[in-house]
Amino acid sequence: MSTPDTREAAVITGAALALGDDALVLSHRLGEWAGSAPVLEEEVALANIALDLLGQARVLLSQVGDEDELAYLREERSFRNVQLVEQPNGDFAHTIARQLYFSTYQRLLYGQLASGDGPFAGLAAKAVKEVAYHQDHAEQWTLRLGDGTTESHERMRRACDALWKYTGELFQPVEGLDVDHAAMESAWLASVTDVLGRATLTVPEGPRTGAWAAGAGRQGLHTESFGRMIAEMQHLHRSHPGAAW
């Protein structure tokens, strides 16, 4: 039997885990570019965006428990991030498409959370200003690649199409988040449609969920590459418990 108070605490913990895992996993994916980004400025930009996300993840996961234990010692099925953020970096266009879809969503989400007085309002008010720079970065690159050469246009189109089916999950309601998911989804669609249009790209036509329901990351069901990603992310800590520098 759980009392209303412990029930409420569990709901908030669940929401913190979902948002914290989104930030942690995308941070790790962006960190994978270190040493192999196309130009030095992007190396630095992607690492800085990753650092912002890692900062958010630390605050959120610390609301759940020990941040290191949560990041390094959980099994794949215990992660609650959306499948979009775990998708492999692919080429630079894939990374930018993932950034465009996710940063647009995160900016809307934090904007709504910041205007409320819930348990995430403080972090959201701070993070929304950081995420505005992430969205701007993704938007500028989408315009440049989409409205660039035939090759860059084609790669950006392929990337936007390939990741489209993971965008539906972003608007599956998360218990404990006092936000209007439907309003967020329509604002997201309008924003992404506007950027893609200016980038001479068309909005992908396919469904926004996969054939076997892409909307499963929040329930702990992840795509194939995620297991390899966390194996690499957790390897050092698992091999050398308590390692620090």
Residues that bind another protein (CB under 8 A): 41-42, 44-45, 48-49, 51-56, 58-59, 121-123, 125-127, 129-130, 133, 136-137, 140
Query: Are the C-beta atoms of 12 and 65 separated by less than 8 Å?
Result: no
For the CB of residue 120, give the shortest distance to another protein in the complex, in Å.
10
The set of residues, in sequence order, having a beta carbon less than 8 Å from that of 16 and lying 6+ positions away, is 60, 61, 63, 64, 119, 120
| Residue number, 123 or 214, with CB nearest to another protein | 123
| Residue number, 126 or 158, with CB nearest to another protein | 126
Query: Are the C-beta atoms of 14 and 64 separated by less than 8 Å?
Result: no
Query: Are the C-beta atoms of 164 and 204 separated by less than 8 Å?
Result: yes
| Residue number, 74 or 126, with CB nearest to another protein | 126
For the CB of residue 208, give the shortest distance to another protein in the complex, in Å.
29
| Residue number, 59 or 214, with CB nearest to another protein | 59
Q: Which residues of 71-85 are buried (b: 16+ CB within 10 A; e: fewer)?
A: bbebebeebbbbbbb
Q: Which residue has the tokens 């506007």?
A: 194
Using CA atoms, how far apart are residues 11 and 17, in angstroms rounded to an integer? 10
Amino acid at 169: E
For the CB of residue 236, give the shortest distance to another protein in the complex, in Å.
18
167 sits in the region (left: phi over 0; alpha: psi -120 to 50; else beta) called alpha
For the CB of residue 144, give the shortest distance to another protein in the complex, in Å.
13
For the CB of residue 95, give the shortest distance to another protein in the complex, in Å.
14
How far, CA to CA in Å, does 25 sit from each of 19, 187, 222?
10, 24, 12
For the CB of residue 18, give the shortest distance to another protein in the complex, in Å.
17
| Residue number, 44 or 190, with CB nearest to another protein | 44
Q: Is 161 exposed, middle or buried (0-12, 13-18, 19+ CB in 10 A)?
A: middle
| Residue number, 51 or 189, with CB nearest to another protein | 51
For the CB of residue 38, give the shortest distance to another protein in the complex, in Å.
13
| Residue number, 45 or 192, with CB nearest to another protein | 45
